[in-house]
Amino acid sequence: MFLMQWKRALDGLLDDQEGEMLALLERLVAIDSPTQHAAGVNRVGETLTGWLAGEGFAVSRLPKPPIPEDEPWQADLADVFMACTHEPSAGPGIGFIGHMDTVFPVGTAASRPFRLDRAADRVTGPGVADMKAGLVANLFAARALKRSGLLDCPMTLMFSPDEELGSPTASKALAAQLPGARAVICSEPGGVGNVVTVSRKGSGHMHLKVQGKAAHAGRCYADGASAILELAHKTLAINDLLDLSRGLTVNTGLIAGGTSANSVAPWAESRIHLTYRTLEDGKRVVKGIRDIVAQSTVSGTSAAISGGLRLYPLERTPQGDRLFELVQEAGRTLGMDIAGQHYESAAESGFCSSELGIPTICCMGPEGDNIHSVDEFMIPSTLVPRCKLIALTALLAAREFAPAPRR
């Protein structure tokens, strides 16, 4: 009975909001926000928190966390933004998370702008599905819950600036702000056909640097020590850690080095990306990479590696499965037959589950596909239904779960 009462209340608050949702989405898509364009990502955060402040939420822009000495580039990333309904002493309640950054370079918003095709039920534009539509859905769901007065616990909305690089700073903010949450809803793009994500891989990013010694490659080759040759040995050894049968990928995707073709290379570096289905596998492969880096094949070279695990995997847990059952219950109330999927890429939902021990569900946002490509799209007819799904799930989760124990 109470579910139908909640649904009727949400219908009254959300049924006529699609136009406002699309207008806000268009504003967000018009802002170029690749991860390393801090000004653009911060503009997204200012737009989101400005909207929420107008609805009576307490908003903040969090200070930068301590930056690792071996990864100084993190200092140039944008900020984490947050909005709450209560004082911190009340706890985070239900967490709504999403990221503001995209993978598309500056200029894409002008060259390939927001476009709504009603006949095809498609919206296109950079980051429209991943995940600016999800940010909009979180805002409108939270506003509806606040206006209705139905939710009897706090709400905390977190907006991260660096998910596409593994959330090196956002994960620290999540760890600081969300412990004790009853549940976390991540509004990454929903799968087409009423699909949400119940498990997904984790990911890691590592930066390998090799120092060698320069020498003329023809006249005095033996006086040098090739950093490129040493990097090649390490790259092949690291590749041996690949185990596709376990869903474990280790990919050296970028390599640079040397000064000229006729010089023994004094430096070389690579960027390594890894994905894994279990936290245990992720920790094992990072240790394996560090052990390889510690050993030298080419005399006279040295190496250092930074980075490690970034986005933890969203693994199946009894609490997570129970939250998925609540999503399905909310879906049935809305006439939606919700299916769960495993997703072979990472998101911040895994950190909230694996590291913080909070019941977490992912891909609750409006449906879309072809993310990270020029063909990325979002289905506008799913905006309002997914917003209601988020809100109803939050209401059910607030009743079902006590505040999570702090780890």
Check pLDDT > 90 for residue 1: no
Host domain of residue 19: 2-200+313-400
Catalytic choice (79, 101, 269, 281):
101
Is residue 228 assigned to a domain?
A: yes
Check pLDDT > 70 for residue 407: no
Helix (H, G, I), strand (E, B) or coil at 315: coil
Same domain, residue pair 306 and 323: no
- Here the tokens at position 58 are 């307490």
Range with the lowest mean pLDDT among 308-317, 338-347, 397-406?
397-406
Check pLDDT > 80 for residue 404: no
pLDDT of residue 142: 98
pLDDT band at 102 (very low <50, low <70, confident <90, very high): very high
Same domain, residue pair 54 and 159: yes
270: phi then psi, degrees, rounded to nearest 5: -145, 160
Whether 130 is catalytic is no
Residues facing residue 269 across a β-bridge: 209, 256
Is residue 122 assigned to a domain?
A: yes
Is residue 33 assigned to a domain?
A: yes
Of 397, 356, 360, 398, which Cα lies nearest the Cα of 90? 398
Is residue 406 assigned to a domain?
A: no
Contact between 124 and 114 (Cβ < 8 Å): yes
SS3 content of the chain, % helix, strand, coil (to 5): 40, 25, 35
Check pLDDT > 70 for residue 137: yes
Same domain, residue pair 288 and 276: yes
Task: Please give the distance of CA 150 from its chain centroid, rounded to a whole number.
Answer: 29
Same domain, residue pair 191 and 332: yes
Whether 163 is catalytic is yes
CA-CA distance, 365 to 389, in Å (whole number)? 9
Is residue 396 assigned to a domain?
A: yes
Same domain, residue pair 237 and 376: no
Same domain, residue pair 19 and 57: yes
Same domain, residue pair 237 and 98: no
Task: Indicate which CATH number applies to the domain containing 391.
Answer: 3.40.630.10
Check pLDDT > 80 for residue 295: yes
Query: Structure pTM?
Result: 0.93
pLDDT of residue 405: 73
Task: Indicate which CATH number applies to the domain containing 262.
Answer: 3.30.70.360
Same domain, residue pair 340 and 356: yes
Is residue 405 assigned to a domain?
A: no
CA-CA distance, 394 to 94, in Å (whole number)? 7
- Residue finishing a domain among 257, 283, 311: 311
Catalytic choice (163, 269, 315, 376):
163
Same domain, residue pair 278 and 322: no
pLDDT, mean of residues 262-285: 96
Mean pLDDT, all residues of the chain: 96
Same domain, residue pair 192 and 206: no
| Number of domains forming the structure of the chain | 2
pLDDT band at 406 (very low <50, low <70, confident <90, very high): low
pLDDT of residue 356: 94
Same domain, residue pair 196 and 222: no
- Residue finishing a domain among 264, 279, 311: 311
pLDDT of residue 376: 98
Give the residue carrying structure tokens 């911190």.
88
- Here the tokens at position 265 are 């290379």
Same domain, residue pair 239 and 302: yes
pLDDT of residue 70: 85
Strand 339-343 relative to strand 122-124: parallel, antiparallel, unpaired?
Answer: unpaired
Is residue 407 assigned to a domain?
A: no
Check pLDDT > 80 for residue 98: yes
Is residue 256 assigned to a domain?
A: yes
- Residue finishing a domain among 296, 311, 326: 311
Question: Residue 213 burial by CB count (10 A; 0-12/13-18/19+): exposed, middle or buried?
Answer: middle
